[in-house]
Structure 1
Amino acid sequence: MLRPQATATREVICLDGVWNFEIVADAATEEWTELLSPKTQIPVPASYNDILLDHGIRDHVGWVKYQRRVRVPRSWTSEHVFIRCDAATHRGRIYVNDKLVADHQGGYTPFDANITELVSAGKEFCLTVAVCNELSNETIPPGSIEVLANGTRKQKYLHDFFNYSGLSRSVWLYSVPQRSFRDVTIVTDTVGENRTGIIKYEATCSESVDCEIRVTVADENGNVVGCAHGERSEIEIESVHLWQPGNAYLYKLTLYLHRLDDNSLVDEYSIDVGVRTVEVKGSQFLINNKPFYFTGFGKHEDTPIRGKGHDSAYMVHDFQLLEWIGANSFRTSHYPYAEEVYDFADRHGIVVIDETAAVGLNLGIASGLFGKKAPPTWSAETMNVTTSIAHSQNIRELISRDKNHPSVVMWCIANEPASHEDGAREYFAPLVKLTRSLDSTRPICFSNCVLATAENDLISDLFDVLCLNRYYGWYEHTGDLETAEHELETDLRTWQTKYGKPMIMTEYGSDTMAGLHMTNPGPWSEEFQSSMLEVYHRVFDRLDSVIGEHVWSFSDFQTSAMVFRVDGNKKGVFTRDRRPKLAAQALRKRWVERKNDALHG
């Protein structure tokens, strides 16, 4: 599925704005396409939860409906017409007038529908998008629904961020020619001492009989530097400008579909291409054959009022803060982000670890917090074959959507699963095989939780990079940083000795109340957060296999209501409205110095 794009042969209309909105009281009896009153309206894109001042809407479990009128341009008489939702959390249905045209499970990847036969050029139609936020043990991410004594349905989930719902990304009406490009895959490489760049492409079309595919590659000045013909080929670029961390360079690859009989243009589509290589070698992570050290964060798509709604102003400001603090990378915890974020990372040379929405595949974490005996995570009644099928679909859609972004250097297929429990290997081995079959050019990883030690973990040998989430000094040995430093180093050395693979600390940090200061740093103070990070950094610097540090987290974010989550998770080094805490200055000093050292050899 190619993203909507305006070209010489394609047109796009963004349907963002204010839509009519309604809570579905009973899905079993709902008339899905009945006209909605404008009495209640909601913006798109945005999560609906925090916008309206109705507690029942904020905590609603089940379906909601969005609706608006849409006019098809009268010039689209001979075109195929599509509707696309960039995301609907966690299940979305698209109705055109009274017809269901799409039903998609998975809250963070796009889905579309060809509606050509249902609409007419120059005329309006009624567009309804129904969205459901329900989670079960067979969805990704997983969850369960509890029915209280008063009949209220409560969504329970195993991820530590609020279950924001709705149309959090854009909705599009777009046209494509009857003969058109359907998909394009780009792979890049370099050869020779003179640094010749290689761009390999493979294009698929809806129909290419009696047509020819022509391809050009242009540099950033618009000069054509390479050409090719056919559905698949490779293009050499002499003295190529590499895409590098902190120094992005993007070529524009354009595909043309021409008729053979009269040479007329049938379709055109362009993709920005960064030429770079990625490789794991021993305990090093190499980008363009040079060791790369990750500095940055786990993040969330989370802002006040909009929830997970994509916001370009916040996006640009967040990237400014990444540059200010000296970060060179981030992890899309714990789901694929909006595509605009990857475009921006491509353009500005920020490295991305791209993650599926497989968070919460571990029944032992929540049970441990509340002193309960955990059921097995991997069983017919818990995470089962149907869960695995949903997980596989998440991986397929993630890679299909993001495979051509040069900023994406690694796939993360799960966060903190129960990788130490019986059944973990049987669950993950097929998923690893699937991921490698879909993309053999990037390393893969998962983020390991502390319950799965180097001794009892059952799956880490399947992966290329060890990604470890650790909270010594916070959840373990709270406030005791001396013990935390010893335990952390012992833990990491065990992994280093056993596997010899590159290791990234993908989560570490402490909850911190902005403005709380202590002369004798204690938990929750700004001074303690800085001191705890310094402990971890001393350990990282003593281990050869550590090749990255992603602090948890970039900014404070909203969670479900819990006694130890007062207005959300406070582990951010920036507040939710992006004000720096004391730890941000400490990180800036360390990371800017590291960046300068790397720059000057």
Structure 2
Amino acid sequence: MFRQKTGLLFFLLLLSVLPFTHGQDIFISNTQNRTFTSLNGKWKYVLDPYETGGMGGMPLYKNAQSHQKTDRVEYSFDQAQTLWVPGSWNIQQPELTYFEGAVWYRKTFDKHNIDKSKRYFVNIGAANYISTVSFNGKILGKHEGGFTPFSYEVTDLIQEEGNFLIVGVSNARKVDYIPSKVTDWFNHGGITRDVQLIEVPQTFITNYFISLDKSTLTQKTKRINGQLELNGEVLPKHARIIIPELKHTQEIKVNKEGVTDFTVEVSRLELWSPENPKRYQVIIEAGEDKISDQIGFRTVETSGKQILLNGNPIFLKGICLHDENPLRQDRANSMEDAKLVLDWAQELGCNFIRLAHYPHQENIVRLADEMGILLWEELPLYWGINWGNPEVLNKAKAQYAELIKRDYNRASSIIWSVANETAPTTDRTQFLSELVDYVREMDDTRLISAACKKDQELDGHPDSVYTYSDPLMSKLDVISLNEYLGWYGGLPEACRTKSFQTKIEKPIIVSEFGGGALQGFHGDSLTRWSEEFQEYLYKESIAMFDRIDGLAGMTPWILVDFRSPLRQLPDVQDGWNRKGLISEKGEKKKAFYILQNYYLNKEVN
């Protein structure tokens, strides 16, 4: 279960990157079930392409205004254009389509009837990539990472009238960032998820970590392990855990440090699974604070070459996905966005989705819990990471800490992945091995994987054999392989003679395969970019992978066409990666039905 000492390391890391801050970054979970005021909507913005943080020597976070004719002010939020929040700036203004730099957002609002017995926090669901947050002219802090939530306290700054929240966001790409300089997806900039003003008691529940104890899986009475985190100067002596459906109420003694481990023993517990995504209302009360969540209980582990869900073998019928609404061409940010793609995945026959290549919006994880879809989650530890820089490793730990804190209580999330298509150098393997240990220490209730690359051709192995000897695989629970034979090299018929070898006796997931097709373009099965070529490639690839000893699942690349600056072939790609089984207009390609048929007839080996 979650280890608090890693959370402390993460907290100290964030403090180290917050010069002249007014407050401290704090993680607050389950924000949608708390008392809050939405700050979504139209925000004023000022471009800062050189990332100076000011105009004419005047800081943008100060919201400078001219009050008399002699005043010199060289920017104006009041007269500026607007951007919608949440949303990326790239799709809202044509001149910002490929803009990479800083944009400063301003939101003004009143807050009448401020309760002096409460505390107030600004919570930002995600902003890509570096965010400088200020409130009423005071810098609260800086946050790095484009896909995870963060909060700052504004209790001492909030006013009944005339509040202004200014957030400077930069999506510039740099070698020491995560991701690094080059990615094969669109670099959406801006505040891409919800912004809330959260109201909590003086002492409140910041987070909780609840999971089923694997050792009691086969017992009639099952144990639930938990940890409760409180924040406040005066802590209550006791807290209560309530599961109404099980008629269970339990009082626990609160640790004086505000972090309390506890166990709950219950009978008649119904386990969560794709076939039966059962969730229980769990209520936590501590002092004046009370929070409720819907939590499913399940176990996931491996045995030999099998993945076990609740002790039973499962084949992961999956697909990869980017966090976009293709119809809007924007970063996904709503429950409606999540439902669109999860409905498509279920129609395809999936029980599993790889959320690539970065943390997706929380709505999709919560909806997967409700619908019974298993998930793989990962960080953008991708091409070109500066593996030798210890600060980059610290950033990876910090971003994973935020992701685990957000999604720990979601039964659907079963795999953390630490990398995608990274060459096994000494620095890289040391970096990822340390990250694996870090993630496992924080959360031992899930499996750990990484999308690995095959070896270069070695003496003694015929061309028909792909071998895998990445030293990182010894640290993983599940081996995952990306393989594009028939698209990048050879034609689909080459799949008929290939086999796969690894000496590690672990389950294998084929984490990527596929090829591009322009929906509506037709030809014979050897006409590149046609639906027929993609259909043929899927038939041959599936047959090849089905022969792998220990195959426990697959996630072909990808459910829907997605935007990418690397894909510019005129009249075919036009800025889209065309490997989707569904077009950006929501139209299914012929290969969709090949995979659907395979999943509908696939049984656990």
TM-score, length basis structure 2: 0.85
Alignment-mate amino acid for residue 345 of structure 1:
A
In 2, distance between residues paired with 1:293 and 1:32? 53
Asked if the contact 1:138–1:390 (Cα under 8 Å) also holds between the matched residues in 2, the reply is no
In 2, distance between residues paired with 1:435 and 1:520? 44
C-alpha displacement of 1:44: 1.0
Listed as ranges, the matches of 1:416-455 within 5 Å are 416-419=421-424, 421-450=425-454, 454=467
Of the candidates 207, 218, 235, which is equivalent to residue 183 of structure 1? Answer: 207
Local SS of the residue matching 1:127: strand
In 1, distance between residues paired with 2:145 and 2:483? 28
Asked if the contact 2:327–2:586 (Cα under 8 Å) also holds between the matched residues in 1, the reply is no
Of the candidates 32, 37, 40, which is equivalent to residue 16 of structure 1? Answer: 40
Local SS of the residue matching 1:118: coil
In 1, distance between residues paired with 2:285 and 2:517? 54
* Range with bigger deviation, 37-46 or 269-278: 37-46
Q: Which residue of 1 aligns with 2:509?
A: 504
Of the candidates 314, 322, 328, which is equivalent to residue 337 of structure 2? Answer: 314
Query: Is 1:249 equivalent to 2:275 in the alignment?
Result: no
Alignment-mate amino acid for residue 586 of structure 1:
I
Alignment-mate amino acid for residue 323 of structure 1:
Q
In 2, distance between residues paired with 1:301 and 1:186? 26
In 2, distance between residues paired with 1:224 and 1:459? 46
Q: Deviations over 1:487-511 (max 9, x none)?
A: 3x2xx2x12xx11210001100001
Alignment-mate amino acid for residue 599 of structure 2:
W
C-alpha displacement of 1:514: 0.7
CA, structure 1 residues 407+80, in 2 after alignment: closer, same or farther (shift >3 Å)?
Answer: same
Size of the aligned set, in residue pairs, is 541
Alignment-mate amino acid for residue 459 of structure 1:
L
CA, structure 1 residues 139+5, in 2 after alignment: closer, same or farther (shift >3 Å)?
Answer: closer
In 2, distance between residues paired with 1:227 and 1:539? 53
Asked if the contact 2:204–2:231 (Cα under 8 Å) also holds between the matched residues in 1, the reply is yes
In 2, distance between residues paired with 1:134 and 1:39? 22
Of the candidates 581, 586, 591, which is equivalent to residue 594 of structure 2? Answer: 586
C-alpha displacement of 1:39: 4.1
In 2, distance between residues paired with 1:40 and 1:470? 46
Alignment-mate amino acid for residue 134 of structure 1:
A
Asked if the contact 1:81–1:116 (Cα under 8 Å) also holds between the matched residues in 2, the reply is yes
Local SS of the residue matching 2:147: coil
In 2, distance between residues paired with 1:329 and 1:430? 27
In 2, distance between residues paired with 1:339 and 1:6? 10
Of the candidates 565, 581, 592, which is equivalent to residue 560 of structure 1? Answer: 565
In 2, distance between residues paired with 1:206 and 1:558? 41
Asked if the contact 2:227–2:262 (Cα under 8 Å) also holds between the matched residues in 1, the reply is yes
Query: Is 1:205 equivalent to 2:230 in the alignment?
Result: yes
Asked if the contact 1:472–1:485 (Cα under 8 Å) also holds between the matched residues in 2, the reply is no
C-alpha displacement of 1:425: 2.1
Q: Which residue of 2 aligns with 1:84?
A: 123
Q: Deviations over 1:71-124 (max 9, x none)?
A: 22414222110001100101112111211112100000011100111113x333
CA, structure 1 residues 211+520, in 2 after alignment: closer, same or farther (shift >3 Å)?
Answer: closer
CA, structure 1 residues 14+37, in 2 after alignment: closer, same or farther (shift >3 Å)?
Answer: same
Alignment-mate amino acid for residue 566 of structure 1:
D
In 2, distance between residues paired with 1:50 and 1:278? 40
In 1, distance between residues paired with 2:87 and 2:217? 48
Q: Which residue of 1 aligns with 2:408?
A: 403
Of the candidates 161, 178, 181, which is equivalent to residue 123 of structure 1? Answer: 161
Alignment-mate amino acid for residue 403 of structure 2:
L
CA, structure 1 residues 312+209, in 2 after alignment: closer, same or farther (shift >3 Å)?
Answer: closer
Asked if the contact 1:276–1:406 (Cα under 8 Å) also holds between the matched residues in 2, the reply is yes
Local SS of the residue matching 2:241: strand
Alignment-mate amino acid for residue 469 of structure 1:
N
C-alpha displacement of 1:50: 1.7
Listed as ranges, the matches of 1:62-73 within 5 Å are 62-73=101-112
Q: Which runs of 5+ in 2 are unaligned?
A: 1-26, 64-75, 254-259, 457-465
* Range with bigger deviation, 340-349 or 306-315: 306-315
Query: Is 1:350 equivalent to 2:373 in the alignment?
Result: yes
In 2, distance between residues paired with 1:522 and 1:415? 29
Alignment-mate amino acid for residue 244 of structure 2:
A
CA, structure 1 residues 210+167, in 2 after alignment: closer, same or farther (shift >3 Å)?
Answer: closer
Q: Deviations over 1:401-422 (max 9, x none)?
A: 2111111101001111122x23
CA, structure 1 residues 232+320, in 2 after alignment: closer, same or farther (shift >3 Å)?
Answer: same
Q: Which residue of 2 aligns with 1:151?
A: none
C-alpha displacement of 1:4: 5.2
Q: Which residue of 2 aligns with 1:289?
A: 311
In 2, distance between residues paired with 1:242 and 1:189? 12
Q: Deviations over 1:182-204 (max 9, x none)?
A: 22111213636564333221112
Alignment-mate amino acid for residue 412 of structure 1:
S
In 1, distance between residues paired with 2:592 and 2:124? 36
Asked if the contact 1:226–1:237 (Cα under 8 Å) also holds between the matched residues in 2, the reply is no
Q: Which residue of 1 aligns with 2:28?
A: 2
* Range with bigger deviation, 328-337 or 35-44: 35-44
C-alpha displacement of 1:306: 4.7
Asked if the contact 1:47–1:309 (Cα under 8 Å) also holds between the matched residues in 2, the reply is no
Query: Is 1:134 equivalent to 2:172 in the alignment?
Result: yes
Q: Which residue of 2 aligns with 1:217?
A: 243
C-alpha displacement of 1:286: 0.5
CA, structure 1 residues 429+520, in 2 after alignment: closer, same or farther (shift >3 Å)?
Answer: closer
CA, structure 1 residues 226+281, in 2 after alignment: closer, same or farther (shift >3 Å)?
Answer: farther
Listed as ranges, the matches of 1:19-418 within 5 Å are 19-28=43-52, 29-30=54-55, 31-33=59-61, 34=63, 35-54=76-95, 57-120=96-159, 122-143=160-181, 157=182, 159-189=183-213, 191=216, 195-207=220-232, 209-219=235-245, 224-230=247-253, 231-258=260-287, 266-302=288-324, 303-361=326-384, 378-379=387-388, 384-418=389-423
Local SS of the residue matching 1:459: helix
CA, structure 1 residues 348+546, in 2 after alignment: closer, same or farther (shift >3 Å)?
Answer: same
Alignment-mate amino acid for residue 372 of structure 2:
G
CA, structure 1 residues 38+426, in 2 after alignment: closer, same or farther (shift >3 Å)?
Answer: same
Local SS of the residue matching 1:387: helix
Q: Which residue of 1 aligns with 2:460?
A: none
Asked if the contact 2:455–2:468 (Cα under 8 Å) also holds between the matched residues in 1, the reply is no
In 2, distance between residues paired with 1:111 and 1:351? 25
In 2, distance between residues paired with 1:141 and 1:212? 43
In 2, distance between residues paired with 1:345 and 1:197? 24
Listed as ranges, the matches of 1:433-512 within 5 Å are 433-450=437-454, 454=467, 457-477=470-490, 480-487=491-498, 489=499, 492=500, 494-495=501-502, 498-512=503-517
In 2, distance between residues paired with 1:309 and 1:591? 26
Query: Is 1:570 equivalent to 2:578 in the alignment?
Result: yes
Q: Which runs of 5+ in 1 are unaligned?
A: 144-156, 259-265, 363-376
In 2, distance between residues paired with 1:41 and 1:513? 35
Alignment-mate amino acid for residue 174 of structure 2:
S
Local SS of the residue matching 2:555: strand
Asked if the contact 2:495–2:544 (Cα under 8 Å) also holds between the matched residues in 1, the reply is no
C-alpha displacement of 1:2: 2.6
CA, structure 1 residues 193+16, in 2 after alignment: closer, same or farther (shift >3 Å)?
Answer: same
TM-score, length basis structure 1: 0.86
Asked if the contact 1:82–1:113 (Cα under 8 Å) also holds between the matched residues in 2, the reply is yes
* Range with bigger deviation, 548-557 or 439-448: 439-448
C-alpha displacement of 1:439: 1.0
C-alpha displacement of 1:543: 2.6
